[in-house]
Amino acid sequence: MSVSFQDGLARIAIGKVRTSHGLQGEVKVLSYSGEFDHFEHLGSVSLVKAESVRVLEVEATRWAGVNLLVKFRGINQPEDAKLLADFEIWVTPEHAAPLAPGEVYLRDLIGCSVVFEGRLLGTIISYLEGGKTELLEVEKTGGGHAVLPFAERYVGALDLSERTVELKVDWILD
């Protein structure tokens, strides 16, 4: 999904509004990372669904059983909260869940060169959410596109400062 924001700042989708909860306008939230602590410190967020973008302020968060509930300022009725279902929650990178050592944001791989034994094979142009693993779309140097599973058996060293992704095997792009 590509979304343009008026302020021009980069954003990351950190979760999704699932459904409304209760009578006060709260919503149940799905965290894409499986982490929830960062939701408690959010201020303004962008809610995105198709071409619709809404900017709302997080008023409060709380737990109800296994569900994280979020209350947005100005959303006070269950009917209003229900209208937020399926909106993704986008934030600036500093408000996303912190990365563990060795983790990367897939968006940071876009534009990286894909190399095998020092040979340039292509450039990562996008990514797709896969079933068991994410998929990187590679524009091959010789023309055409390939899909690269972002899995340890195929992908070696990542060097974001040099903007390179090393492959362990070259045939994966054939």
Q: Write the CATH number for 117.
A: 2.30.30.240
Q: Are residues 30 and 76 in the same domain?
A: yes
Q: Are residues 87 and 123 in the same domain?
A: no
Structure-block tokens of residue 57: 């302020």
Q: Are residues 19 and 91 in the same domain?
A: yes
| Residue 3 resides in a domain | no
**12-49 pLDDT, tens digit each:** 888 899 999 999 999 999 888 788 888 888 989 999 99
Task: Count CB-CB contacts under 10 A for residue 64.
Answer: 11
Q: Are residues 82 and 120 in the same domain?
A: no
Q: Are residues 83 and 118 in the same domain?
A: no
Listed residues 95, 130, 155: the one ending a domain: 95
Listed residues 95, 121, 154: the one ending a domain: 95
**86-137 pLDDT, tens digit each:** 999 999 888 887 777 877 877 788 999 999 999 999 999 988 876 778 889 9
pLDDT of residue 112: 95
**Is 50 exceeded by the pLDDT of residue 1?**
no
- Domain around 130: 106-173
Listed residues 53, 73, 95: the one ending a domain: 95
Mean pLDDT of 71-91: 95
Counting the structural domains of the chain, the total is: 2
From residue 6, alpha-carbon distances to 3, 85, 96, 148 in Å are 10, 23, 20, 32
